[in-house]
Structure 1
Amino acid sequence: MALSRSHEPHREPVVLQRAHGPGGELVLRAAPGGHHEIISNGMFLMDTRNGESERLLVRAAAQAAPAPGRMLIGGLGVGFSLAEALRLPAVSRVTVVEREPAVIAWHRPGGPLAARSAGALDDPRVRVHRADLVDWLAAAAPGGHDAACLDIDNGPDWTVTPGNARLYGPAGLELLRRALSPLGVLAVWSAGASPAFEALLRERFARVAVHPVPVPRGEPDIVYLASPAPSERPG
């Protein structure tokens, strides 16, 4: 007979790998239930328990963007966003920009997170660049993407490192808008509403939509969609 939850032994996460990169210390942990957690500089960043917000972020961007779409994903994380993008017929090519070499290595064949991204780093439709996203955008050709999805931080107001804040400011948003095709869509995930960030989006994009994502506890997550085109997209 299975033990009731109250009698299950308490198990702490186990550290699998510890690495130091451009953003500081990253720790990959194995958690109960076969899950993984990523801890950044002692702060919980993400895990593999759900992923619905990441999948919704990518689906919403793909549905609002012209197809077949070229998608840019900022942040590899645990791989949910990339794996979802490759499942969508509307997405023809995916460019991933991830600054942490350890995260990329964890998704390589045989790595502890390879199954989470469904081996996507071997998919011929995928290109992975190890770079800071703002620096990469500044050097990229304009108009190269039909959708851009940001899943780097816990949102504009909860950045993993202080330097990431520039991505959500006026200069970063200008670079993101420059990277989009005329009918392209920017999608940004946030662990809560950010009125100041929404105001910045409305100053720089013709159309902005805000999509709450219910979560088990607390305030809903938010997905922001923004398009430079004054059309029916995003909607």
Structure 2
Amino acid sequence: MSTTGPVTLDRREGPYGEVVLRRRETGGRTDYEIIANGTFLMDTSDGRSERLLVDAAMDALPEPARAGAAVLIGGLGVGFSLAHAAADPRWSRIAVAEREEAIIEWHRAGPLAAVSGRALADERTVILHTDLVEYLATSADTYDALCLDIDNGPDWTVTEDNGSLYGASGLASCAARLKPGGVLAVWSARPSGDFERSLRNAGFSGVRTEEVAVARGVPDVVHLGIRPA
């Protein structure tokens, strides 16, 4: 199997540091990678984790709340979570918080449109060009589910400022954006017992962790918690 690359397609300096879009060719397959401040974030090679993030949130909602539920996805990434949510007619509103203008542009007019183009055109979808942590702390909007995937996990953040999201103040902001009985789902590249304890300490119920099998190493996971009704 031949491998070519990676080839840098775009590199931007923004208020949160550097973001890079790269292309990699492997055995006739083309994939795209997003690198933030030198840290690999995600690529288009396998969207199982992103799909589980959305499905686990929907499945954790009480049955009456599933039809017509509203979800906030943070952030846009390579678009798998958005595309999967848009494929489910039960979501009545799909908001995506993304702070990097470059990533939004790569989806609207770049190669990542192949993943997200149909979802972006969906009338249920709205892109919020905003910092997720700030939005959660200051917005008055509420959702049935929050699906958060802006870092490599609670213990491995892309920028230092993101760390507050996984502590007491950030989880209080998450709870405030959730309707009673709403679900918080957080993707992580590895399980975090400390984060599970933080969820319980913040008042979330039904805290659990769902695993996504990977080829080698520890599994990706989705941490789940429910805001009590």
- TM-score, reference length from structure 1: 0.90
Distance 1:90 1:63 in 2: 11
- What does residue 137 of structure 2 align with? 138
Distance 1:160 1:122 in 2: 29
> Looking at CA atoms only, which structure, 1 or 2, has the larger radius of gyration?
1
1:39 to 35, 38, 48: 35
Within 5 Å, give how 1:174-189 maps onto structure 2: 174-189=172-187
- What does residue 64 of structure 1 align with? 60
- What does residue 82 of structure 2 align with? 82
Tell me if the contact between 1:22 and 1:99 (Cα under 8 Å) persists in the aligned partners. no
Tell me if the contact between 2:50 and 2:80 (Cα under 8 Å) persists in the aligned partners. yes
Distance 1:43 1:97 in 2: 20
Alignment gaps of 5+ in structure 1: 231-235
- TM-score, reference length from structure 2: 0.93
Distance 1:207 1:43 in 2: 32
- What does residue 213 of structure 1 align with? 212
Letter in 1 for 2:137: A
Distance 2:159 2:42 in 1: 15
Q: Percent identity?
A: 53
Superposed CA offset, 1:25-46 (max 9, x none): 1110111121101111122111
Within 5 Å, give how 1:131-210 maps onto structure 2: 131-141=130-140, 144-204=142-202, 205-210=204-209
Q: What is the aligned residue count? A: 221
Tell me if the contact between 2:137 and 2:170 (Cα under 8 Å) persists in the aligned partners. no
Distance 1:37 1:18 in 2: 12
Within 5 Å, give how 1:67-146 maps onto structure 2: 67=66, 68-108=68-108, 110-141=109-140, 144-146=142-144
Letter in 2 for 1:113: L
Alignment gaps of 5+ in structure 2: none
Structure 1 residue 121 displacement after superposition: 2.1
Which has the larger strand fraction? 2
Letter in 2 for 1:61: A
Partner-residue secondary structure (3-state), 2:4: coil
Q: CA RMSD in A?
A: 1.3
Distance 1:138 1:161 in 2: 17
- What does residue 26 of structure 1 align with? 19
Tell me if the contact between 1:207 and 1:229 (Cα under 8 Å) persists in the aligned partners. no
Structure 1 residue 122 displacement after superposition: 2.3
Distance 2:114 2:58 in 1: 23
Distance 2:227 2:37 in 1: 35
Structure 1 residue 19 displacement after superposition: 0.8
